[in-house]
Amino acid sequence: MKKVGVAILGLGVVGGGTYEILTQNKETFKKIHGLDITVESVLEKNKERALSLGISEENIASSIEEVCSNPNVDIVVEVIGGIEPSKTFVTKALKSGKTVVTSNKELFARFWPELEKEAKKMHVGLFFEASCVGGVPIIRTLQEGMQANNLKSIKGIINGTTNYILTKMSSEGWSYEEALKQAQKLGYAEFNPTADVEGFDATYKLSILSSLAFNTKVSVEKVYREGITGIDKEDIAYGKKMGYTLKLLGIGKNTENGIEVRVHPTFIKNDNPLASVNDSFNAVHLVGDSVGEIMLYGRGAGALPTGSAIVSDVIFAAKHTEYYYASFDNTEKGAEKTKFVPDFTSQYYIRLSVKDASGVLAKIAGAFGKNNISLNEVFQVSVDEGVAQIIVTTHECYESNIKKAMNKISALDEVIKVNGCIRIEN
């Protein structure tokens, strides 16, 4: 039976979950996989936290150097998060000849080429299943399950915090602030929720996933990003009446004009399979030229779901002597021949507060027309004390044109406020 020694860097929520799975399922791993996996070392500032999990004092390391010099450690699991000290620790582990498993999407998205270069040099593995969509095995699916396909698109709800917030705003009629407060209370959102609600977390994940899906390096800087902090519950309610559900989507498309990658709030039809993904659950919808449509669904975060993905990487690494590296030009800039769409197209939902006066609609329609935007629907939803609420939906048009039109419309004397401008994805 093969003995495998593991070190865990960080015993927070995910690190604790990983330790729990590795220890509780130890006999299962022996029986099914022929692996005797032992946690040989942990690196954790809070010594009491480690002891409370049942880790012996002799296995609590005082430095990354102690972990890297331990001959019993074969695989290092990094679950600290952030850039530093994670980057330094992972780099030292790779240089010492240890295979690394990480759940750190920001670190991986920003420094994947650098870390992989070190892994290849030392002939060790670098695994990252847990970096995207928690316990959902999306990375392995893209690497091993979709080889027969040229992937056309990848769309997903890849951040559980924002999905919980938008679900509550839709189902309970809560404001953004009320939903965020509850998400923080339940532990879905951090005290500082910026990474989630402003779309950074989803951007890191989409960078990784679209790189794998389209077999070319898609840097974080190539992803258009917009968060949910400006979403009003009224727009969600109006969207529901029109047959739409609002989600923060990560969207990647491989088109004839190039690769398109964006993260933003999106209205989708109620019969879209992603529309039924609620609360903190995640899902990824893939379209391949051979297989057609596939959707993966599950918990996108949490101690055990994310720990499950980490342990799957540990087992995979322990059972393989040859490791996967990127099949594309994995440099900071990526392949120069890769084209990216600079100006994507979409349909749009727009809600305006305007003066209840004659000629207003004509001026608004004129601003859209001058920017080559064709209107799909226009209707007035309410009038209160001389102020009318107007909703407009457009046919597909360029993002740059919609921005020009909205600048013109905002400047009209008759327009009091642009309440919402949300993209619609079919």
* Catalytic residue annotation: 205
* Neighbouring residues of 197: CB distance < 8 A, sequence distance ≥ 6: 161, 162, 165, 180, 189, 227, 228, 229
Tokens of 383: 């009038």
Q: Which value, to the nearest 10 degrees, does the dihedral of the CA atoms of residues 297, 90, 204, 309 take?
A: 0
Tokens of 305: 């779901």
* Neighbouring residues of 219: CB distance < 8 A, sequence distance ≥ 6: 207, 332, 333, 334
Cα–Cα distance measured from residue 316 to residue 128, given in angstroms and rounded to the nearest whole number: 11
* Neighbouring residues of 253: CB distance < 8 A, sequence distance ≥ 6: 152, 153, 259, 260, 261, 341
| Contact assessment for residue 218 and residue 328, using Cβ atoms and an 8 Å cutoff | no
Cα–Cα distance measured from residue 412 to residue 406, given in angstroms and rounded to the nearest whole number: 10
Cα–Cα distance measured from residue 266 to residue 271, given in angstroms and rounded to the nearest whole number: 14
Cα–Cα distance measured from residue 164 to residue 182, given in angstroms and rounded to the nearest whole number: 9
Which sign does the torsion angle of CA 118, 144, 132, 33 carry? negative
In order of 36, 310, 318, the CA distances from 1 in angstroms are: 7, 21, 12
Packing angle of the helix pair 13-24, 26-33 (nearest 10 deg):
60
Q: What are phi and psi of 267, to 5 degrees?
A: -85, 130
* Neighbouring residues of 5: CB distance < 8 A, sequence distance ≥ 6: 38, 40, 41, 70, 72, 73, 74, 75
The candidate with the shortest Cα–Cα distance to 125, out of 307, 305, 329, 326, is: 326
Beta bridge partners of 295: 285
Cα–Cα distance measured from residue 324 to residue 321, given in angstroms and rounded to the nearest whole number: 10
Packing angle of the helix pair 160-171, 233-241 (nearest 10 deg):
70
